[in-house]
Chains A and B, each alone.
Chain A
Amino acid sequence: MKIVVTIKQTFTTEAKIAVDGGAISDKGIKQIVNPYDEFAVEQAIKIKESGGAEEVVVLTIGPERAGEALRQCLAMGADAAFRVWDDSLAAPGAWDVYATVLAGALEKMKPWELLLAGWVAVDDNAAIVVQRAAETLGIPQVLVVNKLDVGDGKVTAVREMDGYREVVEAPLPALVTADKALNTPRYPTLPNIMKAKRKPLTVWTLEDIGVTAGSAGFTRTGLALPPAKTGAKIVEGEPEEAAVALADLLHTEAKVI
């Protein structure tokens, strides 16, 4: 069995966001593998280690620097990596285009049986791209998964719904997206980081995968930081007194109680 994991390179979660010339500045910001994609990569490697798969391949759509994120996945234990890029893909609001490109690359990478991904990219917060690609590819999906078994031509997964969980089965090939309780991603060891440098990383253009990108569904017309808060009104006094005063303020001033 072959497993493909889609990953996106994103800012580290500590990053302070700044707007520069109408775009989000990436100056001085450390980039990482989208945390949910990292859970997906870990899961794929675990499946391979337990004998459930022969090959783990990672795929990203991203500029040259996204190669670093792929190298990290290779160092974790993935066998090969693919990166697709075209400068036209840099525009925001293009989830439809990304889904088309992802589906095109995944089509070219066939045969594979399991597609793993994060349930959302923490930067654009869309939860659209890989799910949309799954429809184009004609495969079922189980999203936001915290426990996964693969075997007998199917996946059995525990998926998170709003306020409850479900155990769900789907036939392979299928898409499974990862939530945070799925596993704890490993840190690549130094020898594995060295080994990863020799693993194959293939770069494709849109032409290579036979896709024309088309125009994005949305264009960005504005970008702003959230309005700065002026700091809390600190309620002074002995703890018990302050508590009573606070309750009062919430009732009479903030009107939230």
Chain B
Amino acid sequence: MSRVLVYVEHDGEAIRKGSRQALGVAASIGGAQVEALVIGKGAAGVAAKLGAYGVTKVHAVEYDGAYATGVWTGAAQSAAGDGDCLILASHTSFARDFAPRLGARLSCPQVSDIVELSGDLGGIEVKRPIFAGKAFETLKSEAGRLIVTLRPNAFAEPEAGGGGAPEINEIAVPEVPAALQTTVIEVLKPDTEEIDLTEADVIVSGGIGVGGPEGFDTLRPLQKTLGAALGSSRAAVLAGWISPDHQVGQTGKTVSPQLYIACGISGAIQHRAGMSSSKCIVAINKDPQAPIFEIADYGIVADLFKVVPAFNEAIAKIKAS
């Protein structure tokens, strides 16, 4: 029987969406024994919830501090052990940080940001976007030990339910040599509790067409009604209308929501690179020739300041009914 080890990210209580998706992928691999790695404050509590996802064994590290590369790499190395093991994680900032180092320690290959997975240990095939989604490659590995990170939102969330309490293997916080120690001096939280773009189901996004920083205020009510995250083009960021955190595209965030609403965005290739894998794309643009319409599913050719408020009202009505 092959082992699949899922790195489970959490906030002390809830399991992060991308990790739930990774647990779903693990459960879909036939004949696999699913194990999990949980690190941080509240690890034990989170570990207890994992039986419902088919996890039979949890490696838990109760740890009070901020994210630290050495701690996470060391913990993952202990959890992986010596034998064959497929290690899955959502492609988050934590996993992007420790997974490559884990690969070096375990001397095993890694592939990142995949959108499809098939096969099983010893013969796995994955599909992933390259050239910013302008092409997709399929890669195969026969390695018995392998690390795979999954693009958030590219996989369905499994239904939780059933499953007994998993066996818990407590791992002590790994020692990190001084030369490898990174220290977090300060955590800078954003002013507002915005929804993270990469995990959002719906994104309302604005570009130069919103006309100025105030233009984003026209999008905010719609964002609220939809419970959406707020995105933007790079041009709007460079104009200083909105912070770089919101930028979607080749040099911004890569997103795959269910619904992406592009308002006043022309759809330059670098913007499309970050959002073309969205399930449903809506474009609102006054220029019928705007390239965004080539990849949009629905479009309105009109002034966004006329469309967006009416659209918001109509959606609020649908939501209320």
Q: Report which A residues bind B (CB closer than 8 A).
A: 11, 13-17, 19, 24, 35-36, 92-93, 95-96, 99, 122-129, 131-136, 138-144, 146, 156, 158, 160-171, 180-181, 216-226, 229, 231-235, 239-240, 242-244, 246-251, 254, 256-257
- In angstroms, Cα B97 to Cα A5, docked, is 19
B156 contacts the other chain (CB 8 A): no
Min C-beta distance of B219 to chain A, whole Å: 14
Are the CB atoms of A233 and B280 closer together than 8 Å?
no
What chain A residues lie within 8 Å of B293 (beta carbons)?
A: 231-232, 234
Are the CB atoms of A161 and B93 closer together than 8 Å?
yes
Within 8 A of A (CB), among B26-67: 66-67
B120 contacts the other chain (CB 8 A): no
Are the CB atoms of A257 and B137 closer together than 8 Å?
no
- In angstroms, Cα B26 to Cα A26, docked, is 37
Are the CB atoms of A231 and B294 closer together than 8 Å?
yes
Are the CB atoms of A160 and B100 closer together than 8 Å?
no
What chain A residues lie within 8 Å of B182 (beta carbons)?
A: 140-142, 168-170
B130 contacts the other chain (CB 8 A): yes
B158 contacts the other chain (CB 8 A): no
- With beta carbons under 8 angstroms apart, the residue of A35, A132, A217, A246 that contacts B100 is A132
Min C-beta distance of B185 to chain A, whole Å: 5
Question: Can you report 29 residue pairs joining A to B where beta carbons are below 8 Å apart?
Answer: A13-B269, A14-B269, A15-B131, A35-B251, A92-B139, A96-B103, A122-B250, A123-B130, A123-B131, A125-B112, A141-B69, A164-B188, A165-B188, A167-B188, A168-B184, A180-B244, A180-B252, A181-B244, A220-B139, A226-B136, A235-B300, A240-B306, A244-B311, A244-B314, A246-B282, A247-B318, A250-B259, A250-B315, A256-B280
Within 8 A of A (CB), among B292-308: 293-303, 306-308
Chain B interface residue count, CB cutoff 8 Å, equals 98
What chain A residues lie within 8 Å of B70 (beta carbons)?
A: 140
What does the 1/0 interface line of B136-149 toward A look like (CB < 8 Å)?
Answer: 11111101001000
B233 contacts the other chain (CB 8 A): no
Min C-beta distance of B298 to chain A, whole Å: 5
Are the CB atoms of A158 and B188 closer together than 8 Å?
yes
- In angstroms, Cα B140 to Cα A221, docked, is 7
Q: Which residue of A lies closest to B139 (CB)?
A: A218
Are the CB atoms of A128 and B139 closer together than 8 Å?
no
What chain B residues lie within 8 Å of A254 (beta carbons)?
A: 259, 280, 297-298
- In angstroms, Cα B93 to Cα A166, docked, is 12
Are the CB atoms of A125 and B130 closer together than 8 Å?
yes
B132 contacts the other chain (CB 8 A): yes
B310 contacts the other chain (CB 8 A): yes
Are the CB atoms of A156 and B185 closer together than 8 Å?
yes
Main secondary structure of the interface of B (DSSP, over half): mixed
What chain B residues lie within 8 Å of A235 (beta carbons)?
A: 298-300
Are the CB atoms of A246 and B311 closer together than 8 Å?
yes
Are the CB atoms of B279 and A256 closer together than 8 Å?
yes
Given the known inter-chain contacts A140-B182, A229-B295, please indicate yes or no for A128 contacting B300, CB distance below 8 A. no
Given the known inter-chain contacts A143-B97, A163-B194, please indicate yes or no for A126 contacting B109, CB distance below 8 A. no
Given the known inter-chain contacts A234-B299, A242-B307, please indicate yes or no for A221 contacting B138, CB distance below 8 A. yes
Are the CB atoms of B104 and A99 closer together than 8 Å?
yes
Main secondary structure of the interface of A (DSSP, over half): mixed
Are the CB atoms of A242 and B140 closer together than 8 Å?
no
B179 contacts the other chain (CB 8 A): yes
Assuming A131-B96, A248-B318, what are 14 further A-B pairs, CB within 8 angstroms? A24-B131, A92-B137, A96-B108, A122-B251, A140-B182, A142-B182, A161-B93, A162-B94, A167-B184, A216-B109, A221-B138, A232-B297, A235-B299, A250-B280
What does the 1/0 interface line of B181-204 toward A look like (CB < 8 Å)?
Answer: 111111111100010101000100
Are the CB atoms of B297 and A257 closer together than 8 Å?
no
Are the CB atoms of A243 and B307 closer together than 8 Å?
yes
Are the CB atoms of B307 and A13 closer together than 8 Å?
no
What chain B residues lie within 8 Å of A127 (beta carbons)?
A: 96, 100, 112-113
Given the known inter-chain contacts A14-B269, A229-B294, A256-B280, please indicate yes or no for A24 contacting B315, CB distance below 8 A. no
Are the CB atoms of A166 and B181 closer together than 8 Å?
no
- In angstroms, Cα B112 to Cα A224, docked, is 18
- In angstroms, Cα B297 to Cα A233, docked, is 6
Q: Which residue of A lies closest to B185 (CB)?
A: A167
Are the CB atoms of A125 and B132 closer together than 8 Å?
yes
What chain A residues lie within 8 Å of B137 (beta carbons)?
A: 92-93, 220, 222-223
Given the known inter-chain contacts A125-B113, A166-B188, A235-B298, please indicate yes or no for A251 contacting B318, CB distance below 8 A. yes
Are the CB atoms of A233 and B299 closer together than 8 Å?
yes
